[in-house]
């Protein structure tokens, strides 16, 4: 495998994963503060009109569902735009399979330079995720189609933001957006809206990314300072988080929006079929190259940039 290929695929895929995880909100379980409103009867049922109390129930129900089908789109300035679909299980860490297609930005350009169409199969496990880069990549990688990204290795590459990424990748459950709104203390009920034919309650709030990270991760003071600097350098400050919840107190849609120096952050995700089977099979060892080994080749190689 050429050094150029190692650098292009290893660095761009890894960093795209890291940045996506930073954009995805996490949060503590403590919840925010809010003033309780008087409960009102709605068609014979007691309605939850206090958004904090309602979201605590949503967080508990969604987390307890353990698995779901996931479909969404993400745009990160001129770095990438992508679609994703599949199923995830969060019974014990996050496992599952997703089909990811890079549709624009420098990430899609890198995939096309390797001869692919931008489509990638991803499988998630407790300690790593695997990406199938396709036939074009395999021709330059000794016939191997899959790259293994150990979360510990990605954390080492990206410093403090890598530690955050590691936490996000291992705990990227649907209820994270709900926890983010609870932790922010800034949440309001917008009203009832239709989401793909389902009546859902819309909640919205603004999250300070650095402040939320300080609450929800075990970063040291030095790591937190480094992470805040990385956010500042990237132009990331706050995110607007909107979620939609069905009558069963399950999350059915989430939108996260923010700004970076390279453009807008915009992620929309739909959740359905809670309780679906979402197992993932480890790719064959003989068909897998390790990201850490790729990085060693890149550092020791004398090929092009």
Q: Which domains does the chain possess?
A: 3-300 (2.50.20.20)
CB 267 within 8 A of CB 180: no
Taking the CA atoms of residue 219, residue 223, residue 225 and residue 231 in that order, the dihedral angle to the nearest 10 degrees is -90
- For residue 64 the two structure tokens come to 């307890």
pLDDT tens over the chain, length 305 residues: 444 444 444 444 444 443 343 334 444 444 444 433 334 444 433 344 588 899 999 999 999 999 999 999 988 888 888 899 999 999 988 899 999 888 888 877 877 777 778 888 999 998 898 999 888 888 888 899 999 988 888 777 766 556 666 666 666 788 878 887 887 777 899 999 999 999 999 999 887 765 655 555 555 666 556 655 655 656 566 788 899 999 999 999 999 888 877 778 888 999 999 999 998 999 999 999 998 888 787 777 644 44
- Give the residue carrying structure tokens 């880069």: 133
- Give the residue carrying structure tokens 């990688």: 141
CB 57 within 8 A of CB 249: yes
CA distances from residue 47 to 39, 42, 51, 207, 283 in whole angstroms, order as listed: 6, 6, 11, 26, 47
Burial of 166 (0-12, 13-18, 19+ CB in 10 A): buried
CA distances from residue 235 to 93, 103, 209, 267, 290 in whole angstroms, order as listed: 31, 23, 11, 17, 32
- Name the phi and psi angles at 112, rounded to 5: -70, -35
């Amino acid at each position: 495998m050429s050094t150029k290929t190692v650098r292009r695929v290893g660095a761009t895929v890894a960093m795209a994963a890291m940045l996506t995880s930073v954009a995805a909100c996490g949060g503590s379980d403590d919840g925010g503060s809010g003033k309780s409103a008087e409960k009102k009867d709605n068609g014979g049922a007691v309605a939850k009109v206090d958004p904090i109390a309602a979201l605590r129930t949503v967080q508990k129900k969604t987390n307890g569902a353990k698995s779901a089908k996931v479909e969404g789109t993400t745009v990160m300035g001129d770095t990438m735009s992508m679609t994703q679909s599949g199923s995830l299980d969060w019974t014990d860490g996050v496992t599952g399979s997703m089909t990811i297609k890079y549709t624009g930005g420098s990430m899609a350009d890198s995939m096309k330079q390797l001869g692919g169409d931008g489509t990638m199969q991803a499988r998630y496990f407790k300690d790593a995720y695997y990406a199938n880069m396709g036939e074009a990549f395999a021709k330059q990688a000794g016939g191997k189609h899959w790259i293994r990204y150990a979360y510990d290795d990605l954390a080492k590459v990206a410093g403090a933001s890598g530690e955050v990424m590691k936490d996000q990748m291992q705990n990227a459950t649907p209820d994270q957006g709900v926890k983010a709104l609870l932790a922010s203390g800034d949440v309001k009920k917008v009203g009832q809206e239709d989401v793909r034919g389902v009546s859902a309650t819309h909640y919205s709030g603004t999250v300070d990314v650095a402040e939320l990270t300080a609450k929800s991760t075990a970063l040291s003071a030095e790591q937190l300072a480094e992470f805040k600097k990385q956010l500042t350098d990237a132009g990331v400050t706050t995110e607007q988080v909107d979620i939609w919840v069905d009558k069963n107190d399950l999350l059915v849609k989430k939108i996260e929006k923010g700004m970076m120096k390279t453009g807008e952050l915009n992620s929309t995700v739909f959740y359905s079929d809670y309780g679906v089977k979402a197992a993932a099979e480890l790719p064959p060892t003989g068909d897998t190259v390790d990201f850490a080994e790729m990085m060693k080749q890149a550092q020791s190689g004398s090929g092009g940039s």
